[in-house]
């Protein structure tokens, strides 16, 4: 994510663009159709900057590197999941909250033992750091 912070006026301008699904002070969410058409245009030989300019984005406002980064991400998704993958929101779908509903007791015990082993290792590491900082 960029360190760019959008002002209220810039957010308003970005939201007027039909290719923007949403916008906050820190990020832009692009429309699913725009992502798919951008990948198609890229495969036809257009550069990321040309694609974004043609879609009426002020490239100076969103950042000159932003189009290239977006296309890189979208191409990766396209290669893995095809056109349908671009039309699904992938953000926030990895990991998440730890599982708490186990199908049986063995699974729960195995999870808790792994958690204990992790925490013991972490405590040992922190103890070594503390010891080094005191010396």
Q: Model confidence over 7-64: pLDDT tens digits?
A: 999 999 999 999 999 999 999 999 999 999 999 999 999 999 999 999 999 999 999 9
The closest of 20, 28, 32 to 2, measured between CA atoms, is 28
Provide the number of structural domains found in the chain.
2
Does residue 67 sit in the same domain as residue 106?
Answer: no
pTM summary value:
0.64
Does residue 64 sit in the same domain as residue 116?
Answer: no
Does residue 59 sit in the same domain as residue 117?
Answer: no
Quote the domain boundaries for residue 66: 8-86
Does residue 73 sit in the same domain as residue 41?
Answer: yes
Does residue 111 sit in the same domain as residue 75?
Answer: no
Say which residues have a Cβ less than 8 Å from residue 57's Cβ, sequence separation at least 6.
17, 19, 67
Contact 24, 44 (CB under 8 A): no
Domain assignment of residue 72, yes or no:
yes
């Amino acid at each position: 994510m960029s360190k760019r912070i959008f002002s209220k006026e810039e957010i308003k301008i970005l939201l007027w663009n039909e290719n923007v699904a949403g916008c906050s002070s820190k990020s832009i969410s692009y429309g699913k159709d725009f992502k798919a058409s951008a990948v198609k245009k890229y495969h036809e030989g257009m550069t990321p900057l040309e694609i974004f300019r043609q879609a009426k984005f002020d490239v100076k406002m969103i950042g000159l590197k932003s189009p290239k980064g977006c296309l890189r991400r979208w191409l990766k998704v396209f290669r893995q999941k095809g056109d349908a993958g671009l039309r699904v929101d992938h953000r926030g779908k990895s990991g998440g909250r730890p599982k708490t509903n186990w199908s049986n007791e063995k699974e729960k015990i195995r999870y808790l033992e792994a958690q204990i082993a992790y925490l013991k290792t972490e405590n040992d590491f922190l103890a070594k750091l503390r010891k080094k900082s005191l010396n």
